[in-house]
Chain A
Amino acid sequence: MTKSWFQGLALGSVMAAAVAPAAHAGAWSKAYVVDWMEPAYFHGGDKMDNNGPGADCPDGTTKPVGWQKVFKTPWRSEADVKFYLDPEKRPELQRALRFRGPNYEDVWAQPWLAPDFGMPEVQSKVAYGFDLDDNPNTGGFTSPDGKVKGIDNGYYKVGGCWVSFRGQPRTSQRGIGINGYMTNGLYTIVIVVSGNEDPMNDSKATLAFYEAQDRIVKDALGQAASDATFTVKPDIKTQSLIPVTIKDGVIESRGAAEIKLRDEAWNGGTPSQMQMTGGKLRLALLPNGQLEGYFGGYREWKRLYQNQAINARDGETNQGIDMPSFYYSLKRNADADPDPVTGENRRISTVYSLRATPSFVMDPTGKRVVTAPELFDRDGATRMAAGQ
């Protein structure tokens, strides 16, 4: 009985992740836990200043549109406005802000009922990401190193100046916030990369995203600890198998893929599915064993709006972002998936940055290490071979 569930597992098929891999032919796999993921927003301002003016946002981060301005509706008197803007009446203010529609409608749920004051959008031409549509003449952004033209990142154009989004990588309030929720246990995303040639050079490898049932284990420094074991949550809505090639330790997607995984946390609520079409990915294996890079694709922009609107209380009352203006900006910058009837684009290009730490990933039974591309549905044994 003491001969346990995975005696012998540590042999052969699973490589000790933190040890520099030796080049060898044959089946291999490596597993990671995502310890940082945030919208990839290029910061065009001063390195030390996440808020000051820059090429991206010439006026600095978005200034509040002003409550007096959004608050005044034809049916509200100046006295009403003054009453609600007294700091002692703050709890009432939030409610009053929300129901400011022409007939007391909830403008967070029906933003089209409110006027567009104009969301300040990114002005510069530099962004992280991919030329998702393989057309250098669309998108309008160039990579920071100038090598990739026609980068599509509409979501950055919309939100890049938002005070909580803007900043150097891993320093924005939003980045710290959503990753805090993740590393503190709200959800866990794991990655398994597998192939049959060599971990550093493989022409037909697969990268799999899974959601895990176990929380991230934080180490004494507050980072995700390495070498923890995670068990896959059987739910194909948060899983994807992405065909990749690996060259000198750089992983790149082979063609456009559908990318599905657990969405980023929105102000502490349990996130739902992130689903991208036309997705691309580029991640590098770092000498310290970690994995780092970007992935992107087209997301439904109405969903992105709704995710924010759930907690518009925070966006509007604490950050001064006018929700309806955000809505109009998303609609304006949507760049894919036209509605067959109206012709209006339903998706917007997005890019996320990602960092992951070596770990172990087990199948949903917790008894077998995942070493090959497969999906695990709720029914149990549903498995699909990778599309390679």
Chain B
Amino acid sequence: MNSRFNRRSILRGILGGGAVGMGIPMLDLFLDGNGAALANGAPLPTRVGTFFWGLGLTPGQWEPTKVGANYDIKRNLEFLKGGLDKKTSIFTGFTVKLDGRPSHAHWTGLAAILAGTAPARINTFDGMPSFDTAVANTIGNGTRFKTLDATPYNATTTSYSSTGGDNYKMAADSPVALYSRIFGEGFSDPNSGEWKPDPRVMVKQSVLSTVKDQRDALWAEAGATDRARLDQYFTSVRELEQRLQNELLPPPKCESCVVPTQPEEIARKGDVPTIVRKNKDMVKLMTMALACNQTNVFNYVFTTATSEIYRPGDLPVYHGHTHEEPVDGKLGYQPISAELAQVSVNAYGDLLKAMDEVKEGDGTLLDHSLVLGFSDTGWAKIHSIDNIPMLLAGGANGRHRTGQHVKVAAEPVTRVSLTMQQLAGVPVGNFGVGSMMTSKSITEVMA
């Protein structure tokens, strides 16, 4: 008796998505419009990335005065001028809740944003994964790389992305290294026409199929009100099936994928002109990795938290300046530190510009992406963990209501991390530990 085998459900699942449409008549009727809209070919994936730079920004020099849409652009964020501001949201006033934990200089801030915790020990996330892991688990499976990590900076730590257990990823740390990782061995041109459907999607369809088999039995027994609710439930099943069916369609041609030529190696130096040049090369490579469907998820570290980039001829490095440089009485800030902060955030701007230059479908690659730019501190001079700069760029295929300035009073940074994950499509209801545990999405930036 156990060997009784429901051929119908298995066939429907395993043998391709096309048969899914053979479901229950009424549900078909109900879904026709929606199904047609979705059947127009698979939607473009949302690409998600994090971009980190160390030592924050200059307090008072980046936070817009105006809250909401059409915010004003301050000195540190001049790269937003010319349209990027309409594709970028800015978050101010977010902070780290320590719950009695120590505030580790240059660590706690980034740990709170990435892992939702104020770790007991420095250089750990208390064993927790950074949130990009959840993003990669959700949207990273269909591409060659689940995630890609890169940095133009020379340091032993090259990534803050962790899948847990306080191990951090190793990032490609030069244009040549990144190029060979993406376009070297194992790379096949996405426009060459070879494509195989993901068997995991087909299994998921089979699972849903066994769920749906129960519909008839329940329906037959139910009264009118319960039927309406059953209908809603099975409509939801059908919507999920439709999404899976789309995942089984061959991906659209990567019209914007242009395989770059091998870059030249650049000296491993931390002076500003060198690192800026290196960064420009590397963000372009990363952009093509996305456009050529090699990955949907990336982490980019411009500098580590204690950034030691320096101006040519200058003795102290950036980190040193943040501590020793006096606040200019007239300007109200540390001028050299502000200059280096601008260099750092401009590197993020260079990535956004590169992504926005790639045309894709009805918009640009940036419109189909979501890139969190963030740092470790709100004011490096005193290692403040209040008002840590966080910017969210890219339209996320219409899910991100861009161009907003969201200002709060001392709310946890995890609200931004949670919102980012939800915009990326991660099924997550809350994020963070202790007082930073939040289920409050930032609805102002959700379309």
Q: Chain A residues in contact with chain B, CB under 8 A?
A: 46, 48-52, 60-61, 64, 67, 85, 87-88, 90, 163-164, 173, 176-177, 180-181, 184-186, 215, 217-218, 220-222, 268, 314, 317-320
Contacts and interface: CB of A to CB of B under 8 A. Distances in A.
B333 to A, nearest CB: 12
Interface string B89-107: 0000001001011110100
6 contacts: A50-B327, A88-B269, A177-B382, A184-B102, A217-B100, A318-B316
Contacts of A50: 326-327
B310 A185 contact: no
A217 B315 CA distance: 41
Contacts, number: 72
B410 A220 contact: yes
Interface in B377-399: 381-383, 386
A320 B310 CA distance: 17
Contacts of A173: 323, 381-382
Contacts of B332: 48
Interface residues of B, number: 31
A185 B100 contact: yes
A61 B410 contact: no
Q: Which of A163, A184, A221, A314 has the most CB of B within 10 A?
A: A184
B85 interface: no
B410 A222 contact: yes
A61 B325 CA distance: 10
B317 interface: yes
Contact of A184 (B98, B323, B327): B98
Contacts of B25: none
Contact of A215 (B100, B330, B382): B100
Given A51-B327, A87-B310, A220-B410, A67 B315 contact: yes
Contacts of A90: 308, 317
B318 to A, nearest CB: 10
Nearest to A53: B329
Given A67-B315, A184-B103, A222-B386, A320 B270 contact: no
A383 to B, nearest CB: 30
B379 to A, nearest CB: 9
Given A173-B382, A176-B382, A87 B102 contact: no
Q: Which of B100, B270, B271 has the most CB of A within 10 A?
A: B100
A163 B329 contact: no
Interface in B92-128: 95, 98, 100-103, 105
Nearest to A66: B315
Contact of A177 (B269, B327, B383): B383
> Which are the 4 A-B pairs with shortest beta-carbon distances?
A49-B329, A51-B326, A318-B323, A52-B329
Contacts of B329: 46, 48-49, 51-52
Contacts of B316: 87, 318
Nearest to A219: B410
B314 interface: yes
Given A51-B329, A173-B382, A319 B102 contact: no
B425 interface: no
A87 B317 contact: yes
A155 B101 CA distance: 32
Contacts of A87: 270-271, 308, 310, 314-317
A50 B327 CA distance: 7
A89 B179 CA distance: 29
Contacts of A317: 320
B324 interface: yes
B363 to A, nearest CB: 40
A41 to B, nearest CB: 15
B270 A88 contact: yes
Contacts of B271: 87
Contact of B326 (A61, A217, A218): A61
Interface in B258-274: 269-271
A185 B327 contact: no
A268 to B, nearest CB: 8
Nearest to A319: B324
A222 B327 contact: no
Given A51-B327, A87-B314, A176-B382, 15 more contacts: A46-B329, A50-B326, A51-B326, A87-B316, A88-B269, A173-B381, A177-B383, A180-B383, A185-B101, A186-B102, A215-B100, A217-B100, A220-B409, A318-B320, A319-B324
Nearest to A51: B326
Interface string B329-357: 11010000000000000000000000000
Contacts of A46: 329
A215 B316 CA distance: 36
Nearest to A177: B382
Contacts of B98: 184-185, 218
Contact of A180 (B103, B308, B310): B103
Contacts of A220: 409-410
